[in-house]
Amino acid sequence: MSELLDSANQDRTSVELFAGGGGLAMAVARAGFRPLLLNEVAKWACETLVANGAKPYDIEGERPPIPTPGERPPLLRGDVAKAEFDHLVGLVDVLAGGPPCQPFSLGGTGRGDEDHRNGFPHMFRAVREMRPKVVICENVRGLLRQSFAPYFEYIKRELTLPFEQRREGGSWHEHDTRLRELIDKDGGLPDERYDVQHFAVNAADYGVPQIRNRVILVAFRRDLGVDMKRFEELVKPQFSEASLYASMADGTYWDRHPEVPRKVQERVMERLPQQTLPSAVDQKPAWRTLRDAVNGIDGQRTLPPIPIEYLDRKERFLGGFTDHVGWPDARIYKGHTPNELDRPAKTVKAGVHGVPGGESVVALDDGSHRYMSVRETARVMTFPDTWTLAGSRGEKMRQLGNAVPVLLGHAFAEAVAKILGEAEKPT
C-alpha cells in the first residue's frame, strides 16, 4: 500500500503545495499527518503522486472534496496561483511545501522576488486561507547568500505576519518596512501571527546518504504557545561525519561491507582526514555512505551490480528491482568527478547528464565508473523501493533532484508532531 494511503486513518492532517515527486509529502505522512490535499503542476510529478495513491482533480474543475479517514488524498493538478484553500480553514495541522527554488539557486537565474517562479507568495496566501497550526518550507541554501539575505529576512517577516498583505503594486521593501514596525510593536492577533525559525541543514546529518545543504523554515501559530527552544533541540543533527571516520578506523564500517576488497579499504583509509574522534558522550550514529544506500538501509535489500554488458538502457528487473537500469557513456574529467562509494553521495540535482560535477556518476571498486541508476538515486534521496516514479529516466531524475529527502523531511515533521502533542496536552 502507498505511504500516502498508509496515513489515511491518522487524526492529524496536512496539506502539501509544490508536492513534486512526493518526498516531503511522504515524510509528513510518516510522521502521522493525514494528507487532505496535494498540489502540483508538473505532469510527470502528478503521475507519480497518482501512482502512489493520490486521486487526481484538475484545477479548472470542481473543488476536490475533503477526504474522510481512509479515503485517497486528492491531488489538485495545476498552477497553485489558481487554487483556493478557504474550504480547509481550521482543518489543517501542517501546511508543507518546497516553493520552486530556481529564483534563489546558484543554478537558476537568481532573480528572487522578481522571478515569476517565486512560490512564497502562494504559500503565504494559503496560510491566510487555511490558518494551519504549523508551516514547513524547504528551499535551497542559496536563500542564505549575502545577496539574498535582506529578502530572506523579509520572507521570514511575511511568514510571521501573513495576514498583513503587501499593497498591490507596492514593493517588497515598502511592505518589509511595515512588517518591521508591526513586529517591533508585537502586533498581530495570536491566531494570525507565527513564530518563525530557519535551519541551515545538511541532509547527511539526518541519516540521508547524501551531502545536501538546504534551509528549512518552520513556523508555529503563536496561539499554540510552542516552546521554540524545545523544537530546536529536537531537530539538532542526528548523525555525525566524525563517527563515519571513526567506524572506518575501528573496522566496524568494513565489517558491514565485507565485500569491499582490501586494497579499496586501504585506499579509502589513506584519504581519511586527521581529526579528533567523537567523544563517548556526544557520539552520534555515523553518516551513511553511497555504499550503505546501495547495500540497503532501514531493512532494504542489497541492489545487485549492473554488469558492463547491461549498460544499454534496457530494464531487466535485476534482483526484482525496477528502475535499476544501466546507462552508457558516463565520463569523468576535471571538474566532473564521480561519486565515491564510501562517502555520502554528492547533491542529487534535477537533471540526468547535463548537471555539473559528476553527481550522477559513480566510481566502482574495480576502477570502472558508470551512471547511477534511478533506483540508486532514489535510495540516495531515501525514497522507499516501493515508491513508483512516473515518466522517462530524465523525468524521474528531475523529480528526485527537486525532492526533499524523505528522512530529512521526516526528522522535522516528526519533531513538529511531538511539539504539537506537547502543546495540546491539557494543563
Please identify every residue annotated as catalytic.
101
- Angle ∠(265,266,268) on CA atoms, nearest 5: 65
Q: What is the CA radius of gyration of the chain?
A: 22
Instruction: Find where cell 568494513 sits.
Output: 254
In 3-state terms, what secondary structure has residue 224? helix
The rounded distance, in Å, linking the Cα atoms of 418 and 427 is: 16
The rounded distance, in Å, linking the Cα atoms of 382 and 124 is: 29
Burial of 161 (0-12, 13-18, 19+ CB in 10 A): buried
CA 210 to the chain's CA centroid? 12
Instruction: Find where cell 541532509 sits.
Output: 203
Dihedral angle sign, alpha carbons of residues 402, 23, 121, 188 = negative
Give the three cell numbers for residue 384.
522507499
Q: DSSP string of 295-337?
A: H-STTPPPPPP--GGG-SS----GGG-SS---------BTTBP
Residues paired with 134 in a beta bridge: 94, 220
Strand 94-97 relative to strand 134-140: parallel, antiparallel, unpaired?
parallel
